[in-house]
Amino acid sequence: MPKNQDLLHLAIAAGERGAGYVRGVRRPENPGDWGRKGQHDFVTTVDREAERQVAAMLLDGAPGSVIVGEELTPQSATADLVWFVDPLDGTTNYLHGYPQYAVSIAAATQGELAVGVVVDVARSLTYHGVRGGGAWCGDQRLTVSSLGAPGVALIGTGFPFRTPELLPRYLRQLTAVMGAVSGIRRAGAAALDLVDVALGRFEGFWELSLAPWDMAAGTLIVREAGGVVTDDKGAADIVKHGSIVAGNPSIHAWLLNLLTES
């Protein structure tokens, strides 16, 4: 089994290769060229080629590992080393030229998150975390916000656009959170939303329906920045299809309780 630092270097190299491809290729501007995985859920040849390049680099660097990714292998997998790959988190943003999209890569060893890398493609910034080693952007260590009062908190969120049956529940939660905090933001790329928690820009974040490749890397980065990440029932094992609640320790506890009551 490769050491965590070796996995980190491999994930950074693969993430930056994928980001370089996305950044350099012509963006498909014609909606006729946009495939659909579901209502409001687009996919393009850019997503698929980015994942192919990322997956090839990861598997070449760590033979015997398994990829769980959005475009090529959207199934669960068990192995000593599993990579969770989202080659273009925020596809709709990308298609409209809205600069909030990322390549997200996480490694889990023996079933536990070990490494997380999120590359902000439009801004050419790479965020990473390694279990027990902190969260970083270059030589800047990331630390969650120290603000603990909900009334001054800025909270990120994501809409349940793939699961409209969750919308009534989400709207109740949105109403409750909106009435208690200073602001709510929805930018449309969960990996970068979680990075914003780790950076202290958001005091908290929640979403009702994500895939493991959406949240795995960001989860590790938030935890290594001193934050707390669970599902909406408070369980820490969240790298699966489902909900997420993240934040600094104070806001996470408050937000989790409010969402439960809503």
Mean pLDDT over 173-178 rounds to: 98
What pLDDT does 28 receive? Answer: 78
Gap between the Cα atoms of 244 and 37, Å rounded: 22
Mean pLDDT, the chain, rounded, equals: 92
Residue 72 has pLDDT above 80, yes or no: no
Strands (E) across 90-214 are located at 102-109, 112-120, 125-130, 134-137, 140-141, 154-157, 183-185, 204-210
For the stretch 195-235, pLDDT in tens is 999 999 999 999 999 999 999 999 999 999 999 999 999 99
Gap between the Cα atoms of 249 and 197, Å rounded: 11
For the stretch 123-172, pLDDT in tens is 999 999 999 999 999 999 999 999 999 999 999 999 998 888 999 999 99
In this prediction, residue 75 has a pLDDT band, given cuts at 50, 70 and 90, of low
Gap between the Cα atoms of 240 and 217, Å rounded: 12
- Token representation of residue 64: 């015997």
Residue 243 has pLDDT above 60, yes or no: yes
- Token representation of residue 103: 């390549």
- Token representation of residue 55: 């997956």
The interaxial angle of helices 45-61 and 4-24, nearest 10 deg, is: 150
How many percent of the chain have pLDDT more than 90?
Answer: 82
Phi, psi of 11 (to 5 degrees): -65, -40
Mean pLDDT over 11-26 rounds to: 96
Residue 49 has pLDDT above 90, yes or no: no
What pLDDT does 42 receive? Answer: 45
What pLDDT does 73 receive? Answer: 58
Nearest to 115 by CA among 255, 240, 221: 221
Strand 134-137 relative to strand 35-38, pairing: unpaired
257: enclosing H helix or E strand: helix 249-261
What pLDDT does 71 receive? Answer: 58
Residue 40 has pLDDT above 60, yes or no: no
Alpha carbons within 13 A on the beta-carbon side of 22 = 35
User: Is 43 buried (19+), middle (13-18) or exposed (0-12) by CB count in 10 A?
Assistant: middle
Q: Domains of the chain (ranges plus CATH)?
A: 4-141 (3.30.540.10), 150-261 (3.40.190.80)
What pLDDT does 38 receive? Answer: 44
Residue 59 has pLDDT above 60, yes or no: yes
How many percent of the chain have pLDDT more than 70?
Answer: 91
- Token representation of residue 151: 């009334």
DSSP 143: -
Measured CA to CA in angstroms, residue 81 lies from 1, 13, 240 at distances of: 8, 17, 16
Mean pLDDT over 183-196 rounds to: 98
Least confident of 39-48, 103-112, 119-128, 167-176: 39-48
pTM of the model: 0.93
- Token representation of residue 150: 């909900």
- More reliable by pLDDT, 128 or 75: 128
